[in-house]
């Protein structure tokens, strides 16, 4: 029988923290520890809590996550394992990147790590679509990549959620048009791109669900590649995965973003027009699932060696 692991979610009242809690609350192999609301910002109380658990999940803004990581490090040999859901350590070489599907050996690296950085929502789909092409030599590392993405408003934090729920936010909005979005560094590093990709995120008036899309001119790839070749390559790469599925593109050329909500699944499609020499790679997933909380639960299962259910429990 698997052991029981003690877990503390530092920042459990936020959107990601609440969904992680919902995913593991009924797990018999997990014992959740919490701090009273009035002590959540008390460094001594948090440090004491950290000393008594196996793993701490940091669901905090970047600066607060760094403070918590330092608190944990101050415990020395008593320090728990850390799983950080912020952006703070995603490109830090001393932290393992928590995208289990990145390469065949990544699950083992996560399992052996004491500090893991959970991937960002937007980069997850882009990395899983691009990395196999670069590894196979079909796409050059300096390929000029553009990633377009749309997310439900739940990915924007409390202020964005409040604005949409109050009906004061626009129905659809592009943002990050200064081209300095914090997810780009992560996207570039783990795809293997040497040229900085252009990333254009957007948010729409629905709660959750995400689509990443990457347009390609096929004549800029190597080896006279057709859309079917891209699909076959991706299908081979993720064969046997419980999380990533490569599925046929819809004949009507349409795709909505919410079908995988509540799950940790991610679907990849290749839409193509061979005559025009064009293709679009598309990833659909839940920005709060594989894009955040689902991935975190997947990682804690690997880090602690316990069975986990990564999807949200279905309502009775």
Please list the active-site residues: 121
- Contact of 109 with 96, CB cutoff 8 Å: yes
CA 122 to chain centre: 7
CA 64 to chain centre: 20
The CA–CA distances, whole Å, from 133 to 198, 220, 227, 272, 302 equal 18, 13, 12, 16, 26
Alpha helices in the chain (DSSP H): 15-24, 43-51, 62-73, 106-112, 121-135, 157-165, 184-191, 227-237, 294-304
Residue carrying structure tokens 């254009």: 200
User: How does 79-118 read in b/e, with b if 16+ C-beta sit within 10 Å?
Assistant: bbbbbbbbbbbbeeeebbbbbbbbeeebbebbbebebbbb
Residues forming beta bridges with residue 216, ordered by sequence position: 279
**Cα–Cα distance between 311 and 19 in angstroms, integer?**
10
User: Which structure tokens are listed for 278?
Assistant: 């064009």
**Cα–Cα distance between 210 and 220 in angstroms, integer?**
27
**Cα–Cα distance between 24 and 31 in angstroms, integer?**
9
Residues forming beta bridges with residue 148, ordered by sequence position: 200, 213
**Cα–Cα distance between 271 and 280 in angstroms, integer?**
5
The CA–CA distances, whole Å, from 198 to 143, 144, 178, 253, 257 equal 11, 8, 11, 24, 21
The backbone region for 76, taken as left when phi is positive above 0, alpha when psi lies in -120 to 50, beta otherwise, is: left
């Amino acid at each position: 029988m698997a052991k029981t692991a003690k877990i503390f979610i530092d920042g459990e009242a936020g959107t990601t923290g609440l969904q992680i809690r919902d995913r593991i609350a009924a797990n018999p192999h997990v014992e959740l520890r919490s701090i009273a609301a009035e002590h959540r910002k008390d460094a001594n109380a948090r440090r004491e809590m950290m000393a008594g658990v196996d793993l701490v999940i940091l669901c905090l803004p970047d600066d607060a996550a760094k403070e918590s990581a330092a608190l944990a490090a101050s415990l020395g040999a008593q320090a728990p394992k850390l799983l950080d859901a912020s952006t703070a350590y995603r490109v830090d070489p001393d932290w393992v990147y928590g995208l289990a599907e990145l390469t065949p050996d990544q699950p083992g690296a996560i399992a052996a790590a004491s500090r893991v950085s959970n991937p960002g929502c937007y980069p997850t789909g882009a990395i899983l679509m691009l990395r196999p092409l670069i590894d196979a030599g079909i796409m050059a590392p300096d390929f000029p990549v553009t990633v377009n993405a749309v997310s439900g408003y739940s990915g924007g934090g409390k202020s964005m959620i409040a604005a949409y729920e109050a009906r004061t936010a626009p129905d659809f909005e592009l943002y990050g048009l200064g081209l300095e979005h914090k997810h780009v560094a992560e996207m570039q590093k783990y795809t293997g791109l040497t040229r900085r990709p252009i990333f254009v995120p957007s948010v729409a008036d629905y709660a959750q669900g995400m689509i990443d899309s990457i347009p390609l001119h096929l004549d800029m790839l190597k080896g006279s590649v057709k859309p079917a070749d891209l699909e076959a390559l991706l299908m081979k790469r993720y064969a046997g995965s419980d999380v990533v599925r490569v599925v046929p593109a819809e004949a009507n050329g349409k795709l909505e973003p919410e079908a995988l909500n509540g799950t940790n699944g991610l679907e990849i499609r290749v839409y193509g027009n061979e005559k025009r020499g064009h293709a679009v790679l598309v990833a659909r997933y839940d920005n709060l699932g594989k894009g955040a909380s689902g991935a975190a639960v997947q990682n804690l299962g690997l880090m602690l060696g316990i069975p986990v259910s990564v999807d949200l429990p279905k309502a009775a």
